[in-house]
Amino acid sequence: MVFGNPGGGLQRVARVLGTADGVAHAALFALFAWRTVAGSGFRVVQGVFALLAGLGFALGVAGSMLIRYGGRTKARSLGLYCIAASTTLAGGLLVMANWTGD
């Protein structure tokens, strides 16, 4: 199987998506952490969502590093899957932020 250029378009787009995803996860973490501390809504549920936002951030960073340093191996494909999972998690957390809001 022939892989594209390691610095090709798909990898650049995935890394940019991972960066935007990291910003979204940081904002969601701050939102859910504030709701946990302030006591609005269900504190335990908000805390779990804050932990999931932190996990999503870590998943996006790991995916970005795998894409950057994976070379022409399967690690680069795993990085793409990590960023896709992180983006999906960010979308789900955004829905939950709307449903559990004040």
pTM, to two decimals: 0.84
pLDDT score of 81 = 94
The stretch 26-54 carries a mean pLDDT of: 90
Nearest to 90 by CA among 48, 61, 52, 42: 52
pLDDT score of 92 = 95
Percent of the chain with pLDDT over 90: 56
Domain coordinates in residue numbering, the chain: 9-99
**4 band by pLDDT with thresholds 50, 70 and 90:** low
CA 22 to CA 7: how far, in whole Å?
A: 21
Mean pLDDT of the chain, nearest integer: 88
pLDDT score of 101 = 75
Asked whether the predicted pLDDT for residue 58 surpasses 60, the reply is yes
The answer to whether the CB of 63 falls within 8 A of the CB of 79 is: yes
Q: At what angle do helices 43-69 and 74-99 cross, to 10 degrees?
A: 160
